[in-house]
Structure formats: C-alpha cells, structure tokens
Structure 1
Amino acid sequence: MQRRTTILIATSAAGLLALGTAGYFLADDPEEAIEPVRISGFTAGDASDTGTGEGSGNGGGGTTQSVDGLEQLVGELRAGDDPDDWSVAGVDVDFGPEEWLLTDPEQADLDGDGTTGPVLEELRALEGREVTLGVRYEEDDDGDRDDADVFTVNGATYRDPDGAAPWKDAGGQGDADRDSVAAAAEKAVGEGARAVDVDRNDDEDGAGWDVEVHGADGKEYEVLLDASGEVVDVRADDGTDD
C-alpha cells in the first residue's frame, strides 16, 4: 500500500515538472507572439449619448462614435424657422451661415437622388428622415455637446474636414465697401428706400453684411448681403408701422 502511494506521488510530480518546463520554454521563446482579440463592428472610442440640456429631447435617441476623426450623429433631421436652423437628436447642426445658404450653393448629392442641387433643397428633401452625419462638436464652457459642425451627410462629403469652410472661400470676389452695400440694399427694397444702419459681419461662419432699410412704404426691412455686396435676402422686420 505504501509503495503504490509513492508511485502516484512520483507520477504527479513528474507531470507537474514537465508542464512547468514547457511553460518556461514557451514564455522564454522570443518568437512566440500572442495575437490580440479582434472585434468587428466597432470603431475607436466608446459610443455615448448626444444632446444635453433642455433641447436633448428634440428627436431623441441620438448616439455618437468615432469615425475617421469625426463623430457619427444619427437621428431625424429637423428644420427650424431660419434657413440655417437645423437639428438632429437635440443637437443643433451647422450646415453654414444663412447668408451663404441663401446663395444656393451646391455641395453634394445629400438626398441620394442622383443629382446635386442647392444645399437647402437637398436638406429639405431629407427633412423628417433619419440621417447619419459626420460631425465635430463645439463644446461650450459647460462642456455641453449640443452644437456641431457637419462634414458628411449619409456618407457624402459635405465639406473638407481638413480645409476651410466653403462659405469662407470668396471665389475670387472682392469685398464690397459700405457705400455700395447700402446702395444695393436700398435698391433691393425699392424706390425711395433709405439705408439707416449698415453692419459688417465677420465671424467664424464667414463674412457678409446686414443692412437696416426704411422703405418708402413706412416699413423697416432687413437686407442680407454676402461679402461682395450681392443681396441674398430681404425681409420685413416684425412690429413695423403699417
């Protein structure tokens, strides 16, 4: 009985010794490499909810994840009151300044119908539909992510992520002076109109002019012009005299 026990112990010890020796040689082998586990269906970065604050319920259900230096925003495209007022999943998305959008620029076939039309026409065709945008968020001092610049729409390139915004390219046109802008605004309103305030807009979205004009009909008008002095919109101010 004593001899049998000794044999079992010796056999077990020999097995452990062999396993330990094999493990030593594997760990010490410089040619041995451990392949990483690869998971498909994900990109770098963790998915996270978008839309914070009071507007986060607008459209709802948006998620983001890293995509080639941009972040992916998915949700229903909704239009606001102004041509440059658009949102997806509670995030205000920037397709460019109003003055530029009203010049009917053509960027890409955003709605996928095979033709490229003016940006606003393309966006209106997508209104109410789910879109996938490649964006960069503009974080404010509170860290909220409720504003974003748009670079791709449903896979189509809207603007170059590494280049200047298209509305900042004047296309070789020279800037107009204040007097010519005032004259153009008065002409747009009609005979007898008088420009009373001419403001130059030079912000990050591009350059342009905003002119307040008193019409011969007693109404006040706001005239928007691009940097070259071309009129892009005329609108009557609310609360004017009849």
Structure 2
Amino acid sequence: MPTTTSRRRLTTGAVALAVAALLALTAWLLMRPDPEESVAPVVVDEVSAAPPVSGQAGTTQEQIEALDRLSGSLRHGGDTAEFVLDDIELDFGPDAWVLTAPATADFNRNGTVEPLLAELQSLVDQPVTAMVRLDEDGDDADVFVLNDLTYRDSTGANLPWQPVETGGSAAPSATVREAAIDAVGAGAKVTELERVRAGRVAWEATVVDAQGVEHSVLLGADGVVLDLRRAD
C-alpha cells in the first residue's frame, strides 16, 4: 500500500505534466501561421509558385495581329483596280469600290487629294511603302497604311467601302437595266445584272454593245451610272 510520501510524489508529477502540456499548447497557438495572412510568392528558378489569386478581371484588351511592311515600286496588276508591290497583290477592297471611291488621302504627296484610283495610278512605277496584313499564302495583302497615311483601321472595323445610304428611293432593277443600256449606247443589251454593296455602288451590269464588245457598268441604288469601262 503506497505511503503518504509516495502519493505526494505522484500528485506532484501529474501536476508537472499538466503544466508542461499547457505550456506546449500555448506555445503552439502563439507560433502557428495566421490563416488570414497572405502568403508571399515562392520563386523557384525565376518561376513564381504563388497560390492562384481569384478576382474580377479589369478591362478586356483586344489582340491585334501585327502588320508587315512592304516597300518597292508599285506596279499595275491584271485589272484596272489591281496593284502589285514586291510581287504581292495589294487588296484595297472590292474592285467596285476602288473604281468609284472618292478622295480619301493624298497618298502621292502632291498636295491635292484625288479619288482613290487616281492616287494609286499616279504612284505606279514610284517607290511606295505599305503596312499590310498578308494572307496565309503570302501572295495577297490587305492594305492598312500607304506612304505613312492611314487607309483603313487595323482592327478591321470601319471599312472604307461600307455601303453608303443615298437617302433617296431605290430604283427597280428594270430602271437600272435601262440606265446601263443607255450608258453603253444604242443596240446594247444587258447580259448580267447583280447587286453589289461597295460604297456608293449598288449594282453592277455586264453590257454588250452593238459591236459585241463587253462593258462593265457600275450604278448606284438610284440607278445613276458611277463608272463605265470596257471589261478587262
């Protein structure tokens, strides 16, 4: 049977163990990381290993494809509205637009802003520089800047050949057909009439004259002839 002295020793040991456990628990509580505290990024070989951060995004940025610079002597292509630079065909928009486009900029730097086709024709055999976007094959390019002057928006918006509203009533196809025949001359006949949407142009008629020569006639929505030339 334990003596009084033995019981006192056991009691003292139990108290000491309890105190030690309490001190250890207190120390752990004081030293453990704060769950609300942010964790700094850990850099390993210059690669950030920080935890992902979620949150609302700011502004959305549109990715715009870079433009290529072409330079050299401008040459005529196969058709009136086609031009070639550095063996790459330049695309200024639909042919109907290029043939009838109004003055846009003084690309030839002569001090006078002329219709687009006149500006381009005056640059043939002259050194020019163009900022373009090449197609997949690399032999055709949309033109955005010509001789340091903006031709069209590089984002692809606000195309210069967007249809123009005339404000008047649209002429019926029969009236357009007659206007095309009158423009070519007596004995002419329309072999094809199709709708076009390029700037002021709303119709394109293929007309064969009395001698069998084919002509291309561009007309507005009101039936007014905008361009007449022999078919290329």
* TM category, shorter: 0.5 to 0.7
In structure 2, give the amino acid aligned to 1:145.
Answer: G
Q: Given the alignment, which residue of 157, 181, 184 partners 1:186? A: 181
Pairing 1:200–2:195 present: yes
CA shift for structure 1 position 197: 2.5
The change in CA–CA distance for 1:207 and 1:170 in structure 2 (over 3 A counts) is same
158, 161, 173: which is aligned to 1:164?
158
1:161 counterpart letter in structure 2: S
Q: 1:164 Cα deviation (Å)? A: 2.6
- Going from structure 1 to structure 2, the CA distance change for 1:83 and 1:100 (only over 3 Å counts) comes to same
> Of 216, 222, 229, which aligns to 2:215?
222
In structure 1, which of residues 87, 91, 96 is the aligned counterpart of residue 88 of structure 2? 91
Distance 1:126 1:178, change over 3 A: same
CA spacing shift, 1:176–1:97, aligned 2, 3 Å: farther
Q: CA deviation at 1:138?
A: 2.3
- 2:106 is aligned to 109
Paired residues, what number? 166
Contact (CA 8 Å) 1:222, 1:236: kept in 2 or not? yes
1:148 aligns with 2:141: yes
Gaps of 5+ in 1: 1-66
By how many angstroms is 1:171 displaced?
Answer: 4.3
* Pair 1:213-2:207 in alignment: yes
SS state of the match for residue 187, structure 1? helix
Percent of aligned pairs with the same residue? Answer: 37
RMSD: 2.9
Alignment partner of 2:100: what SS?
A: coil
Question: What does 1:2-21 correspond to in 2, within 5 Å?
Answer: none
Would you say the 8 A contact 2:133–2:142 is kept in 1? yes
Which AA in structure 2 matches 1:186? I
Asked if structure 1 preserves the Cα contact closer than 8 Å seen for 2:218 and 2:228, the reply is no
Greater Rg by CA: 2
Cα offsets for 1:168-210 (capped at 9, x unmatched): 231445654422221111110123433233223469x996433
Structure 2: which 5+ residue stretches go unaligned?
A: 1-63
User: Structure 1 residues 189 and 207 mapped into 2: Cα distance closer, same or farther (>3 Å)?
Assistant: closer
What TM-score, normalized to structure 1? 0.58
Instruction: Give a deviation string over 1:147-175, Cα, whole Å, max 9, x none.
Output: 11111111111122232321123144565
